[in-house]
Structure 1
Amino acid sequence: MNLEKILSISGKPGLYILRVQTRTGFVAESLVDGKKITVNLKSNVSLLSEISVYTYEGEKPLSDVMQKIADKENKGQAISHKEDNAKLTAYFKEILPDYDEERVYPSDIKKILNWYNMLQAKGLVTDEVAVATEEAPAAEELVAVTEETPIAEVKAPAKKAKATKE
C-alpha cells in the first residue's frame, strides 16, 4: 500500500492527496469530496508514510499495519471507527498483537481504522508492488575499489579539455 502522497492535515477532516507544491505551501485534494485546498507551510501536516505505530519490539510503519488490515479483510472495509473502545482494541489486537497498549490509545486506533476505510472506499488499498524506474548499470560498468586496488587502476571520468587562446 503506497501512502507516499497521502496527507492528514491538522484541523481538517479526512485525508488529502498532495497535488502540487508551491513556494508558500502546497495544493492538496480531499479524498472525501475531491475539493482542492491550498495549505501554507505553517499548518501541521503529517504524511501517512511517515507515521508509525508503537509495538513492544519498536515501531511498525503505518503502511504495514494497513496492509495487515487489508489482508485480514480481503481488501474490504474494516470495522467502523465508531465502535466502542473495547471492540476496537480487540480488533486491533488481532491485526497487530504486539502493539504497545500503553502508548497506542483508542483514539489512535479509531484514526487508523477511519483512514483505512477512507482509502479503501477510494480504491487505494492495493498490494504493494515495487517497480524499478531506472535500470541498474551493467556489472561490467561497475568498478570495485578496495584497499588493495592501486589508484592508477581506478578509471576516473574523462575531463573535458579547455580551449586556450594562442
Structure 2
Amino acid sequence: MTLEKILAISGKPGLYVLKVQTRTGFVAESLLDGKKITVNLKSNVSLLSEISIYTYEGEKPLAEIMQKIADKENKGPAISHKEDNVKLTAYFKEILPDYDEERVYPSDIKKVLNWYNMLQAKGLVTDEVAPTVVTEETQDKEEADAVAEEAPVTEVKAPAKKAPVKK
C-alpha cells in the first residue's frame, strides 16, 4: 500500500491526494468529494507515509499497520471508527499486539481505522507495498559505502584560507 501522496490536513475532514505543488503551497484533491483545494505552506499537513504508531519496541509505519488491517479484512472494510473505545482497542490489539497503550490513544485508533476505510472505499488498498527504487545512483552509493567500510580511515585537512590583503 503506497501512501506517498496521501495527506491529512489539520482542520479539514478526510484525506487528500497531493496534485500539484505551487509557489505558495499546493493543490490537493479530497478523497471524500473530489473537490480541489489550495493549501498554503502555513497549514499543518501530514503525509500518511510519514506517520508511525508507537510500539513497545519502537515505531511502526502507518503503511505496515494498514497492510495488516487489509490482510485481516481480506482487503475489505475494517470496523467502523464510531464503535466504542473498548471494541476499537480490542480490534487494534489484534492488528498490532505490541502497540504502546499509554501513548496510542483511542482517538489515534479511530483516525487509523477511519483513514483505512476511506482508502479502502476508494480502491487504494492493494497488495502493493511502496517499492524500493534502485537506480544507478543508489547502486553507486551502496558500492561506495561498501568500499568505504573496507578502506582505512584517514584524516584529510582542508587547505587554509588566505586572509584578504588590505591596501
Q: Which residue in the other structure is 2:39 paired with?
A: 39
Structure with higher helix content: 2
Secondary structure of 1:126's partner? Answer: coil
After TM superposition, the structure 1 stretch with the greater mean CA deviation from structure 2, 120-129 or 32-41, is 120-129
User: Is 1:19–2:27 an aligned residue pair?
Assistant: no
Percentage of matched positions with identical amino acids: 81
Q: Which residue in the other structure is 1:121 paired with?
A: 121
Alignment of 1:77-116 (within 5 A): 77-116=77-116
RMSD over aligned CA atoms reads 2.1
Count how many residue pairs are aligned between Structure 1 and Structure 2.
146
Secondary structure of 1:86's partner? Answer: helix
1:90-130 deviation per Cα after TM superposition (whole angstroms, max 9, x unaligned): 00000000000000000000000000000000000001242
1:31-76 deviation per Cα after TM superposition (whole angstroms, max 9, x unaligned): 0000000000000000000000000000000000000000000000
Amino acid at match of 1:24: T
Partners of 1:75 and 1:125 in 2: CA distance:
7
Task: Calculate the TM-score normalised by the size of structure 1.
Answer: 0.81
Gaps of 5+ in 1: 149-166
Greater Rg, structure 1 or structure 2?
1
Task: Calculate the TM-score normalised by the size of structure 2.
Answer: 0.80
Alignment of 1:47-66 (within 5 A): 47-66=47-66
Secondary structure of 2:76's partner? Answer: coil
